[in-house]
Amino acid sequence: MTRSTPTPHRQRPCLLQVLGITPYQVAWERQRSLVEQRIQDPSLDDILLLLEHPPVYTLGTGADVKFLKFDPVTAPWEVHRIERGGEVTYHCPGQLVGYPILNLRYYQPDLHWYLRQLEEVIIQVLKNYQLPGKRREGFTGVWVDGYKVAAIGIKVKRWITMHGFSLNVCPDLTGFQAIIPCGIPDKPVGSLAQFIPHLQLEEIRQKIAEEFAQVFQVKLIENN
């Protein structure tokens, strides 16, 4: 995929909100509220939320509990079944999560296009570090040297997006051992810190914002 250079008159404003470590339920409710506001008033600006979560497992709408290695009813961990697509995944500090709230009518009302654009944001970030981010046929996400470093799961309501992507920057990956991540047993999860020791999440957060603006041709406006 070739990244085009945005032209000023095409740039759509997009508010950037950096939330830090945020409980999953809080971020989930915030997304739903933002989506409903934009369904009621499609002229509202788009928003990109960048944050981290405390340890939490989430399952997509149709996710199979067989990919959990524990009983979700009696689990000692926080578990949520949510309205995104995809199977089970894990969030924790050191993993950068991005929730774009975009009205795809202003871009392309095409879910496959949107998923590929989210992957492209990650791939372009990795290029800054000479890391070869790859897609895999039949899957959604980004891999480096066979390790899945970024997961993507979305929900779109009346062409307004929610949920989004997670990029493993420097997390403790042991939480993934309690699940079969994304329902893929033979493709290990990894982090950027495996390839770039001492990498800081703040640095990657800045790169994500920059590349998101380029790939989606928006003008990010900090709104914290």
User: What string of DSSP letters covers 32-68?
Assistant: HHHHHHHHH-TTSPEEEEEEE-SSEEEE-TT--GGGB
Q: Residue 128: how many CB atoms within 10 A of its CB?
A: 12
- Asked whether 178 and 69 are in contact (CB, 8 A), the reply is yes
Of the CA atoms within 13 Å of residue 82, those in its CB half-sphere come to 28
Q: Using CA atoms, how far apart are residues 53 and 221, in angstroms rounded to an integer?
A: 23
Q: Using CA atoms, how far apart are residues 215 and 5, in angstroms rounded to an integer?
A: 8
**Residues ≥6 apart with Cβ < 8 Å to 196:** 129, 131
Torsional sign, CA 33, 94, 173, 114: positive
Q: Which residues pair with 51 in a beta bridge?
A: 20, 97
Active site residues: 182
Dig out the tokens for 78 from the structure.
């926080």
Torsion, Cα 10 135 132 117, to 10 degrees, reads 10
